[in-house]
Amino acid sequence: MEISPIYHNSRPEGELPAQEMAAFDFLDSLGIDYERVTHELADTMEKCDDVSSVLGVDVCKNLFLCNRQKT
C-alpha cells in the first residue's frame, strides 16, 4: 500500500468532504497540532498497521453494534 509522507498541520489539497473540512477547521481554530498521511483504502487491520507504523501510533479497531430492532 502506498502511504504519503507525514504532513504536519497541513490539510489535503483540493476539494474535501464537508465533515473533513469542518474537522480541519476545528483543529485549526483551537490551535491543535496534528499530523496526517494520505493512503488508499485501509480495509484490513494489516493495512491499518502499515499506516500506524508510518505515523508512529497505535490504531484501535472500532466496532459499532446494534440489535435487530436498531434501537
Question: What is the predicted pLDDT for the residue at 13?
Answer: 87
Model confidence pLDDT, tens digit, residues 15-47: 999 999 999 999 999 999 999 999 999 889 899
The verdict on pTM exceeding 0.95 is no
DSSP string across the chain: --BPPPEES-PPSS---HHHHHHHHHHHHTT---EE--BS---SHHHHHHHHHHHTSPPPP------TT--
pLDDT band at residue 71 using 50, 70 and 90 as cut-offs: confident
